[in-house]
Amino acid sequence: MTWPALPPGVSSWRRLAWLGALQACVLGACVLLGSCATTPLPGTPAAAPGAASSPSSPSPPSAASSPAPAAPPPAAPTATATSLPMRATSFAQLPGWSADNFQNLWSAWRRDCGARVALLASACAASAAIGDADVAAQRAFFEQWFQPWQLLTPAGGDDGLVTGYYEPVFAGSTTRGWPYVVPLWGLPDDLVDLPASAGGEVRRGRTVDTGDGQVRVEPFWSRAQIETDAQARQQLARNVVAWLSSPVDALFLQVQGSGLLRLPDGSMLRLSYAGDNGWPYKSVGRWLLDQGDLRGTVTMQTIRAWAQLHPERVQQMLDANPRVVFFRAAPLQQPERGPLGALGVPLTALRSVAVDKKLLALGMPLWLSTRVAGRPLQRLVFAQDVGGAIRGPLRADLFFGTGEAAGDAAGRMQSPGRMWILLPRAQPDRGGATP
């Protein structure tokens, strides 16, 4: 691994200390925080995630044949017991760097800075005077203030997986009445985090009155348990925030994590992630493949088509994903702004990605090289969200925007991809030197 150049006069031990601390902060700052499934309940200061990845996301392809990166010098501290492999590179080596037109990029960067990410404080201050339309100055800014590092798999490969997600728009109602009979639940009053000592795969529970003045905590109901337990449905019915006409729409909304609801009077609600039942996310697309009902690439479109052909098995498909997402609803105030991501800032179409924040700190700029609809897509994006199916260093979920067209593109997005993280330099590189 090659270390980026620092200004003259900086000793080697200071170089190693700075780089080691930076790597630890970027890669290890969120180790204990988890992903969207571990979002704190109300009363804690963390921002709620905005979305999850598309339902058909398989594991990233293996690239074990690629050479492993050189190990860092022994004196450099590691972020975790298994630090993330990276390879230093230059902006000139980023595929398509000079071709990115930076459309909507500066507003996404401004939103990043609005989140007050400590690692980006100096860079954000330096960029304050750059104009929104000055693309040349914006590109020079990133080249001066950041050092690109290519992200690698533990085996040293550089191929990962890029999927897509979006903010759906559905017709619905805040009151029950045909055809709006499928509930979207708000956060239950008795939802609590289970202690780590409880073990098992369920991380959330509910409080139960034993009748003798004692209260015990039991694992929260799964999707299938809710469907078959009248008491569970009755309890959740106390916090219904909206009603949809289709259980498949409700599933897709839960998978995406946020969405817009068009009410009968024409007004709009924004539904945002408020929490979940603590069960692990399971892909219904994977279930359909395992059942032999579908073959090849599974998209939201093929799942919806299968459901229309097999209405008698829809509930069985839904139950394959035990996770249930709870929502909060608010009137749509600014239609031009995207939903809030886990970073707490509005997402920007084709500039925001969901990542595994156990490995990558939210807010970091990333260079993404993948394909969309068979055509190359190479651009600067920002890690502003998380997702229940997003796991690993080379895994990204690209936000496509709001509405039907965005959903069609996101539902079909499933491509190999490479990623580079842009780490802030200790001092800006005024000369444009590359490692």
Per DSSP, the residues of 47-102 read PPP-----TT--PPPP-TTSPPPPPPPTTSPPSSTTPPPEEE--GGGSTTGGG---
Residue range 317-332, pLDDT digits in tens: 999 999 999 999 999 9
189-198 confidence digits (pLDDT tens): 999 999 877 7
SS3 assignment, position 407: helix
Residue 354 near residue 390, CB atoms below 8 Å: yes
Q: Which amino acid is at 182?
A: V
Residue 233 is encoded by which pair of tokens? 């449905």
Q: Where are the alpha helices (DSSP H) in 146-203?
A: none
Rounded CA separation 68/85 (Å): 8
Q: Could you tell me if 205 and 197 are in contact, meaning their C-beta atoms sit under 8 angstroms apart?
A: no
Are 417 and 369 contacting, i.e. CB atoms less than 8 angstroms apart?
Answer: yes
Q: Is 19 helix (H, G, I), strand (E, B) or coil?
A: helix
Cα–Cα–Cα angle for 374, 378, 382, nearest 5°?
Answer: 125
**Segments of the chain scoring below 50 in pLDDT:** 1-82, 433-435
Phi/psi of residue 346, each to 5°? Answer: -60, 140
Q: What is the pLDDT of residue 24?
A: 43
What is the model's pLDDT at position 378?
98
- Beta bridge mates, 419: 368
What integer pLDDT is reported at residue 171 of this predicted model? 97
Q: Give the start-end residues of each E strand in 92-155.
A: 146-151
Task: Return d(Cα 24, Cα 80) in angstroms, integer.
Answer: 8
CA distances from 191 to 185, 195, 276 (A): 12, 13, 9
At 21 the pLDDT is 42
Residues 6+ apart with CB under 8 A from 178: none
Give the model's pLDDT for residue 77: 28
Determine the Cα angle at 360 with ends 430 and 64, to 5°.
100
The single-letter DSSP state of residue 133 is T
Which pLDDT score, from 0 to 100, does residue 431 have? 67
Mean pLDDT of the chain: 82
The dihedral sign for the CA sequence 8, 9, 10, 13: positive
